[in-house]
């Protein structure tokens, strides 16, 4: 059974360029999360969706970041324009909203380098 | 705004020893405390989790100890093995709202053979 699939795995871009990261959650999961990981700040929650609806985007750094989930099997995180401080590993995770377990399943991440 | 504080940042343990990682939280409205394990180049994966109504949970060589009054919980890895070398994150989930987890800063564990 396929896990959470993220693309691209690696992205190198120049400052000012638009970056789009993609995520396919596990089939049947109804919650989706975007996290950012850096050495300095660890794992930060950027935004999460429940049933394709954004529930909490308080972690989105600024207006340069946007996320969409047009359907249950696809989500994007866009950065426009990108800046060097956006360099990080971006993880997508999905879960079946269940108060008894709450396990998040993470993808392998998209490593972004902004020059 | 960090709500879960984790220590130490890095830890080196000899093979066969006990690895101990500690976490403390401030928000009393957390109801679920998982630990995630992350290998280089991979995403975090759930290792073990506990609810605040129990003081300890053991799964194989991994044990969570939970102290509700002190708002602290820890991960113990018994008979540590080189394959346990990874980064470990504690996390907490709020009672209110959906599934979002707040993570600690992570501990890079190295088990020397």
| Cβ pair A48:B100 closer than 8 A | yes
A61 — contact with chain B (CB < 8 Å)?
A: no
H or E stretch at B12: strand B10-14
B105: which chain A residues are within 8 Å (Cβ-Cβ)?
Answer: 42
- A32 in Cβ contact with A100 (< 8 Å): no
Choose among B32, B99, B101: nearest Cβ to A97: B99
- Residue B84, SS3? helix
H or E stretch at B6: strand B4-7
Residues in contact with A11: Cβ distance below 8 Å, sequence separation at least 6, in sequence order: A19, A21, A110, A111, A112, A113
Look at residue B1 in the predicted model and tell me its pLDDT.
47
Probe site for chain A from B43, B50, B88 (most A CB atoms < 10 A): B43
Q: What does residue B111 show for φ and ψ, rounded to 5 degrees?
A: -105, 115
pLDDT tens across B60-104, in order? 999 999 999 999 999 999 999 999 999 999 999 877 655 678 899
pLDDT tens across A83-98, in order? 999 999 999 999 987 6
Choose among B31, B34, B100: nearest Cβ to A33: B100
The CA angle A22-A2-B93, to the nearest 5 degrees, is: 70
| Cβ pair A97:B44 closer than 8 A | no
């Amino acid at each position: 059974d396929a896990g959470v699939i993220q693309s691209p795995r690696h992205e190198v871009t120049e400052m000012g360029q638009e970056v789009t990261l993609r995520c396919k959650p596990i089939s049947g999961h109804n919650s989706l999360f975007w996290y950012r990981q850096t050495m300095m700040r660890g794992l930060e929650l950027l935004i999460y969706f429940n049933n394709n609806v954004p529930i909490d985007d308080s972690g989105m750094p600024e207006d340069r970041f946007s996320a969409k989930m047009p359907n249950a099997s696809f989500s994007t995180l866009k950065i426009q324009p990108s800046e060097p401080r956006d360099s990080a590993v971006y993880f997508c995770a999905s879960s079946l909203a269940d108060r008894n377990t709450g396990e998040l399943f993470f993808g392998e991440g998209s490593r972004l380098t902004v020059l | 705004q960090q709500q879960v504080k984790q220590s130490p940042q890095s830890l080196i343990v000899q093979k066969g020893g006990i690895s101990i990682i500690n976490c403390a939280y401030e928000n009393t409205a957390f109801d679920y405390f998982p630990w995630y394990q992350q290998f280089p180049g991979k995403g975090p994966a759930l290792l073990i989790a506990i609810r605040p109504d129990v003081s300890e949970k053991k799964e194989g060589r991994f044990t969570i100890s939970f102290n509700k009054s002190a708002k602290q919980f820890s991960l113990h890895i018994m008979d540590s093995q080189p394959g346990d070398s990874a980064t470990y994150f504690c996390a907490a989930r709020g009672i209110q709202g959906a599934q979002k987890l707040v993570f600690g800063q992570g501990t890079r564990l190295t088990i020397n053979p």
